[in-house]
Structure 1
């Protein structure tokens, strides 16, 4: 009988390139190794836009075209019960979602007008502000893509690596460079990373998507807890203003908060350190299983001490300075309302419901931003929009002019706190409707609880992937489908309660078998909100109450 202790240990095959094995271990790794996703651009211009949708092979259609911000759109009329059962080609409409990069959420007036024009002319007037500070368009035909690219690129915009296993749009403080309380403006680092690394084959084949955030604002306004890599503004006692480095965050079906490496990084060092962390992900990231390929899984296995050691020893070849953690902030992160800038002007932050706008509205926003301010706008990681550089005497006129566009600077807590992913309307992964459902819930709650004045976030997601950050909302709603007693397919939502970021980040509480039919959401959330108001103690947030409340009070 063989001694168990003498048996060779079974080596776990992760698919990490650093282990010396580049053998593709799944279909995605195969098509990436066969041809870089960046190379599909020329085929789109020369072949597919001329020969049409049917000419696009599967690896380009559902794979490499993501490297240029294009996802196939969900075919109309397919219910959520078929999402996981139909073949990909059965779910595809002959149209695309196009994601336009706006790193740091910054858009000039000219850029906003071009996006608005593309929306109106090529995208059936659709436009959604995502929680990644992008604008997403729908109903894009492959025949129109080269012309759209030409218009975007003429004003300094692109769709390069807006999707795919690449460094996606870089989140930045929506008030970078103008906030009176800013510790340091991270914009130069955002620009340098864009110029040096986006569209660069050095990082065009990562194990999975890769999300970056950079902000020197002390209100912690870039969701750093949920990004793969974040640089968060701090003041070092010796070196002055700089950034605290966080790595390995991500939500989806395995939510994990990012961890501090304990390293202080100067503004000038950010691009080099970013490249080092990104290289670790490229080389050591797990490529065997797609659902284990995000950087958060490597960080969970290594821990921050080992991760920092590998970063310093193998990639930077120097030691980073130790640094302080950012101060805890209970300030609201969305920048909604009228706020003074550092130059005597003001910004006006407004809340479209769940980020839904349109090309027509974007054009009108551009007109108003130019009329009452400098024309500049910013998008936020909370699906909100800011108009910058408004003289004090123009602020109330701008607020009044935005109201008829359903863009409120003084919204209800429900309108302010709602987010929603794309949902079944366009997304092939979704099970339920989200955007329209979010609007209905908000409008019902505004009518029923007009005086509700406590911060209250509602995040609506169409599937388990948590694109709307379900697990870190006061009320997180994860869409599902089930059959009713008569065999009819119905939309329901699994409820998560009491999640949040910022001061003491916490994942939401799952209550046993708590699911609510879609049509019952307004009744359920109204009942929940009233119970909270009746039971809360002085200064208690909904999150704090939800984690101490009896289960029966949460139903």
Structure 2
């Protein structure tokens, strides 16, 4: 596909896509959805070039392992053409919104994985984009396919999740609705039935949901879960999965050097606050071409992986990624902070969250602490799909309400203090009693 489609193909939505540039305070936003978070080096270079030529040069890594370009000017059609020419578009224009399938960034290479789920992911992505009825799904409707990897984002809720396990020596998939692989599964199917299950769930959802019920949780608010599962079983038989429990993910594997299931390694590095520029992205792409397999993988932690690196090259790759300005250690406070676009680019934000996060990181660095903190410019929480251990909710420029996560509390958790400055927040975080924030 190498033509920019006419506007009547692209449905109205507030969510940016590759084919739909959405306006913000700092210009247009184009979101590039990556299959399994992966991108070839030449494609990454095309993104860098497009950001330079047609936008302000700002590239963001998102919390679903995608990329987006910010600050796009009036030549957005030319930008889209360049990205399509690089092979970054959907199989069908109307399929761009619904190619929302999240994998572990280490799918196929993780030492803890049950099996390689990428072939199934390829089937599902093809169907999402080419099955015309699925184009009716909301641009936010999302599926997670989990291979049991040690590096996995298990806190992002999805409309449908599937998780790999073995039963009697055969590959199976546990699955659930409107939740995460940490929940009690609704049932299980053999791997060979995984694609059919996804199709059946999505078709059942579209059969039953009203237009205002855009997410699985909305439908479950009206139809009991057991009744929905019973209807699903009439389409694709499944078995109970009472004793299965997803193995724990290991924190911090998205940064640094880590062994793969073979004799090679991957190297992970984070873009500070999710922001890259063209020079950085080109440098990482060139490293992938010279020292890896010519690909990069983006993660839900707004970082990237350079996979399939030899042991002799791993230290050099890490050093070069650090030299590009990426963060490679969980001990760096900035690597633990999440911040939305903030008032410099979003009209709803009440504070410049990116600048405040950098100030907070500097203070925490001097204090020797690196808590996980989410700075949100408004209650929408665009930057974090999960609830962080600590959330700072902006109430005015440079001032935030402080929340600590509490499993029994909805939203951001328990309100601890109101209207604090960044300096005051750094002291409160350093002195927080109880469990360590970076646990």
Cα distance change on mapping 1:342 and 1:328 into 2, 3 Å: closer
Q: Deviations over 1:301-324 (max 9, x none)?
A: 4343222112122xx2x4212234
Contact 2:157 2:179 in 1 (8 A): yes
Cα distance change on mapping 1:508 and 1:322 into 2, 3 Å: same
TM-aligned CA deviation for residue 164 of structure 1 = 10
Which residue pairs with 2:280 in the alignment?
A: 361
User: Is 1:195 the counterpart of 2:126 in the alignment?
Assistant: yes
Which residue pairs with 1:542 in the alignment?
A: 437
Contact 1:425 1:433 in 2 (8 A): yes
Pick from 308, 318, 335: which aligns with 1:399?
A: 318
Cα distance change on mapping 1:541 and 1:284 into 2, 3 Å: farther
Pick from 212, 218, 243: which aligns with 2:143?
A: 212
User: Is 1:476 the counterpart of 2:384 in the alignment?
Assistant: no
Q: Secondary structure at the match of 1:385?
A: strand
Matches within 5 A, 1:367-378: 367-378=286-297
Pick from 368, 390, 403: which aligns with 1:496?
A: 403
Pick from 400, 416, 434: which aligns with 2:353?
A: 434
TM-aligned CA deviation for residue 41 of structure 1 = 5.8
Which residue pairs with 1:337 in the alignment?
A: 256
Q: Deviations over 1:475-498 (max 9, x none)?
A: 1122334xxxxxxxx453332213
Pick from 262, 265, 269: which aligns with 2:189?
A: 265
- Partners of 2:409 and 2:256 in 1: how far apart? 24
- Partners of 2:290 and 2:126 in 1: how far apart? 32
Q: Secondary structure at the match of 2:136?
A: coil
TM-aligned CA deviation for residue 522 of structure 1 = 4.1
Which residue pairs with 1:180 in the alignment?
A: 111
Q: Secondary structure at the match of 1:425?
A: coil
Which residue pairs with 2:373 in the alignment?
A: 458
Cα distance change on mapping 1:543 and 1:336 into 2, 3 Å: closer
Q: Secondary structure at the match of 1:248?
A: strand
Contact 2:63 2:383 in 1 (8 A): yes
Q: Deviations over 1:394-443 (max 9, x none)?
A: 11111111112221222425233222223333334433322232222223
- C-alpha RMSD of matched pairs (Å): 3.3
Which residue pairs with 1:88 in the alignment?
A: none
Q: Secondary structure at the match of 1:128?
A: strand
TM-aligned CA deviation for residue 263 of structure 1 = 1.5
Q: Secondary structure at the match of 1:430?
A: coil
User: Is 1:148 the counterpart of 2:79 in the alignment?
Assistant: yes
User: Is 1:516 the counterpart of 2:419 in the alignment?
Assistant: yes
- Partners of 1:114 and 1:477 in 2: how far apart? 36
TM-aligned CA deviation for residue 63 of structure 1 = 3.3
Contact 2:255 2:270 in 1 (8 A): yes
- Partners of 2:409 and 2:172 in 1: how far apart? 22
Which residue pairs with 1:116 in the alignment?
A: 48
Alignment size in residue pairs: 436
- Partners of 1:224 and 1:279 in 2: how far apart? 25
Q: Secondary structure at the match of 2:137?
A: coil
Q: Deviations over 1:134-180 (max 9, x none)?
A: 111012245342x3333333333126899999524311110111112
Cα distance change on mapping 1:303 and 1:185 into 2, 3 Å: farther
TM-aligned CA deviation for residue 358 of structure 1 = 1.0
Contact 2:24 2:346 in 1 (8 A): yes
Pick from 263, 268, 273: which aligns with 1:349?
A: 268
Larger radius of gyration: 1
Q: Deviations over 1:308-362 (max 9, x none)?
A: 112122xx2x421223433341621652211011221110111222211112210
TM-aligned CA deviation for residue 244 of structure 1 = 1.6
Which residue pairs with 1:42 in the alignment?
A: 5
Q: Per residue, is there more helix in 1 or in 2?
A: 1
Contact 1:493 1:515 in 2 (8 A): yes
Pick from 68, 72, 86: which aligns with 1:136?
A: 68
User: Is 1:416 the counterpart of 2:335 in the alignment?
Assistant: yes
Contact 1:73 1:426 in 2 (8 A): no
Contact 1:161 1:168 in 2 (8 A): no
